[in-house]
Amino acid sequence: MTASPATDAAASLLADLVANGVRDLVLSPGSRSQALALAAVALADRGLLRVHVRIDERVAGFTALGLARETGAPAAVVCTSGTAVGNLLPAVMEAFHAGVPLLLLTADRPPELRGVGANQATVQPGLFGAFVRWAVDAPVPGDGDWTGLATVAVAAAVGAELPPDGHGLAGVAGPVHVNLPTREPLSGALPAIDVVPGDAPDALSGPPFLLARGPRTLVVAGADAGPAAEQLAHDGGWPLIAEVVSGARFGRHLVHGYRELLNRRELADRIERVVVFGHPTLSREVARLISRTDVDVIAVRHGGEALDLNGRTRAAAALGIENGPTDREWLGEWLSASAPLAVDLSAPAPDADGLTSTDAATRREAVRAELDAVRTPLDRALLADAVWRATWPHDRLVFGSSRLVRVADAVLPGKKVPVHANRGLAGIDGTIATATGIAVASQAEGAHGVTRVLLGDLALLHDVGALLLPPDEPQPRMQVIVGNDGGGTIFDGLEVAASAPAADLDRAFYTPHTVDLASLAAAYGWEFRRVTTRAALDQALTGPVTGRQLIEVPLAR
């Protein structure tokens, strides 16, 4: 077989990535990227790399995002030149704003074929602009080599070290773009390369920001906050506001009904300090709170840009608490006000005495009540509650940016559940692909659990291509639960609903559809269920899951 500098360089680059902690690579087929693809498959055959093939580059980008979200390690995505690269942009934007490490390995034409009308050639260097922590246009193999690129790229992606020409917050992860031009022959015999798997470097950190005990403090956990927010609230003796997508909605200091409490001036006006973890996006009340200039806001570094809605927020890499007494009175006021606002959507217990009564009328009434409970139709709150109750620490729960996530945030109680959501930019796209990456990563090497996705019908339709998985890859255990109200009902609660004519609102915003989800599931090889009652949904969610299930729940507008 003909020797190929492209193949030699690709094999060396991927071996270096494995040595720097990369274990997952998502591949979209293409001619210009063939050397990278063949080198990746060869490493996969040796058990050194997990390769996931997706024919759609947008799906590939979000799948890599999900893999990196779950593992915390950088995931690589490989594509060919041209529009393929542009299709990665939505996932890159989300990764930048959410602080997720991605490595974009984009094949390209050599410099002499750029800007001259060559086929499938465009301006790829700099394509992702401010949304990558570092970008490099590598030399063509033969003119130079790719030695050292992997080490620099991984360090920049995980927030360990930023090159002089990079940008972003110190110590925060994000995407990196490595543009890889090649000349023909585009592939050849693979060289024998020793590969020693290693670990990615740790992100940069710094001395902890010490919090004084004195100020009346509220801890706010937004998307991707994680358990650290609950731990700080516990250690400081402070009330905790935790969005349902935070991964911190648990513990004894959790505040229920936080939107209402933030509107109560007797509590909200007395807040002196707010400590923010993650990216809060689900309520105007929290946004208004952290925009106040009379409140000291301290935000733990997260994502590609600093949180500073009030113009004086201080950033911290890590937090500590000074010694001193806990303000139990302040905590007690919040928890006392919170307790009556906790929502309990569980069905009432069966009337055991009535069901076994010897009085026929009493028994009939008890049976009627039990049947009514079983036949209770589903609304958004009951749907979210059922999914939440069915999910446990060995599972994963992914929320789409649909109306359902806001309902869930308003009604769900505390529970220590691993939660993911693309709230960096709160886009509707890529939800199923992201969840697939999360499922594949969390179930690797025989791990137990189910990945559940709760989203609306438009979010599903935005990412239909992600339903397609190669038949030769392991099928993850997934339940995609779709609240189908026939359109974008989230707009019914926004300003436009009060100003637009009803017909214009329906056409331009609600965007009604008549998609048959059963046929869609069948086309992509998913098991399908349609449920209309809480009892049927509970049965579907708690039954054995061996593959991919699409569960449709019809909802009223």
Q: What is the CATH number of the domain that holds 224?
A: 3.40.50.1220
Question: 48, 195 in Cβ contact below 8 A?
Answer: yes
Is residue 360 domain-shared with residue 234, that is, in the same domain? no
- The confidence score (pLDDT) of residue 371 equals 64
Domain boundary among 181, 199, 227: 181
* Per-residue model confidence as pLDDT tens digits over 360-398: 777 777 667 666 666 778 999 999 999 999 999 999 999
Domain boundary among 356, 374, 392: 374
Question: 148, 137 in Cβ contact below 8 A?
Answer: no
- The confidence score (pLDDT) of residue 373 equals 65
Q: How far is CA 305 from the centre of its chain?
A: 18
Question: 304, 174 in Cβ contact below 8 A?
Answer: yes
Segments forming the whole domain that contains residue 335: 209-341
* Per-residue model confidence as pLDDT tens digits over 207-252: 899 999 999 999 999 999 999 999 999 999 999 999 999 999 999 9
Distance CA 56, CA 467 (A): 11
Domain boundary among 286, 317, 341: 341
Any domain includes 420: yes
Q: How many CB atoms lie within 10 A of CB 143?
A: 12
Distances (CA, A) of 471 to 24, 65, 476, 519: 18, 22, 12, 19
Distance CA 103, CA 76 (A): 4
Any domain includes 192: no
Per DSSP, what are the bridge partners of residue 321?
A: 211
Distance CA 509, CA 513 (A): 12
CA proximity to 412, closest of 376, 445, 380, 374: 380
Distance CA 156, CA 166 (A): 8
Is residue 449 domain-shared with residue 550, that is, in the same domain? yes
- The confidence score (pLDDT) of residue 251 equals 97
Helix (H, G, I), strand (E, B) or coil at 237: coil
Q: How far is CA 473 from the centre of its chain?
A: 22
Distance CA 480, CA 549 (A): 6
Is residue 21 domain-shared with residue 166, that is, in the same domain? yes
Distance CA 22, CA 149 (A): 13
Q: How far is CA 421 from the centre of its chain?
A: 3
Region for 88 from its dihedrals, namely left if φ exceeds 0, alpha if ψ lies in -120 to 50, beta otherwise: alpha
For the chain, how many structural domains are there in total? Answer: 4
Residue matched to tokens 């906790």: 342
Distance CA 346, CA 470 (A): 40
Any domain includes 194: no
Is residue 49 domain-shared with residue 78, that is, in the same domain? yes
- The confidence score (pLDDT) of residue 253 equals 98
Is residue 464 domain-shared with residue 524, that is, in the same domain? yes
Q: How many residues does the chain have?
A: 557
Q: How far is CA 245 from the centre of its chain?
A: 9
- The confidence score (pLDDT) of residue 207 equals 87
- The confidence score (pLDDT) of residue 92 equals 98
Q: How many CB atoms lie within 10 A of CB 204?
A: 17
Helix (H, G, I), strand (E, B) or coil at 480: strand
Distance CA 141, CA 187 (A): 12
The DSSP secondary structure of 301-356, one letter per residue, reads --SSS---TTS-PEEESSEEE-S----HHHHHHHHHHHGGG----PPPPP-HHHHT
Any domain includes 203: no
Q: How many CB atoms lie within 10 A of CB 56?
A: 18
Q: What distance, in Å, lies between the first and last C-alpha atoms of the chain?
A: 62
Residue 490 amino acid letter? I
Is residue 447 domain-shared with residue 359, that is, in the same domain? no
Helices (H) and strands (E) in the chain, counts: 21, 19
Is residue 500 domain-shared with residue 467, that is, in the same domain? yes
Distances (CA, A) of 387 to 28, 133, 381: 33, 36, 10
Is residue 40 domain-shared with residue 115, that is, in the same domain? yes
CATH of the domain at 48: 3.40.50.970
Which element (helix H / strand E) includes 440?
helix 431-442
CA angle 352, 354, 358 (to 5 degrees): 120
Helix (H, G, I), strand (E, B) or coil at 297: strand
Is residue 220 domain-shared with residue 287, that is, in the same domain? yes
Is residue 353 domain-shared with residue 332, that is, in the same domain? no
Low-confidence ranges of the chain (pLDDT < 70): 1, 347-351, 354-355, 366-367, 369-374
Any domain includes 311: yes
Helix (H, G, I), strand (E, B) or coil at 481: strand
Residue matched to tokens 């449920």: 531
Question: 162, 174 in Cβ contact below 8 A?
Answer: no
Longest distance between any two alpha carbons in the chain, whole Å:
93
Any domain includes 364: yes
Is residue 236 domain-shared with residue 330, that is, in the same domain? yes
Angle between helices 34-45 and 5-19 (to 10 degrees): 50
Distance CA 84, CA 50 (A): 21
Any domain includes 190: no
Q: How far is CA 287 from the centre of its chain?
A: 21
- The confidence score (pLDDT) of residue 374 equals 65
Is residue 103 domain-shared with residue 78, that is, in the same domain? yes
Question: 9, 145 in Cβ contact below 8 A?
Answer: yes
Angle between helices 403-411 and 380-390 (to 10 degrees): 70
Between strands 50-53 and 24-27, the pairing is parallel
Burial 64-76 (b: 16+ CB within 10 A, else e): bbbbbbbbebbbb
